[in-house]
Amino acid sequence: TYTEKRSMTISDDVTTYKLIGETYTLGCLVVKYLLIEDPTMTRCACFKPHPTFDFVNVIFIHADQKEIMLAALDNIKKELQTIKAEF
Do the Cβ atoms of 19 and 55 come closer than 8 Å? Answer: yes
Tens-of-pLDDT digits for all 87 residues of the chain?
445 677 878 787 899 999 999 889 999 999 999 999 999 998 999 999 998 999 999 999 999 988 999 999 999 999 999 999 998
Q: What is the pLDDT of residues 36-47, one digit of tens each?
A: 999 999 899 999
Confidence (pTM): 0.86
pLDDT at res. 3: 53
**% of the chain at pLDDT higher than 90:** 71
Other CB atoms within 10 A of residue 31 CB: 20
Q: Strand order of the sheet with strand 55-61?
A: 6-11, 14-20, 55-61, 44-47
Alpha-carbon dihedral 42, 43, 44, 48, rounded to 10 degrees: 160
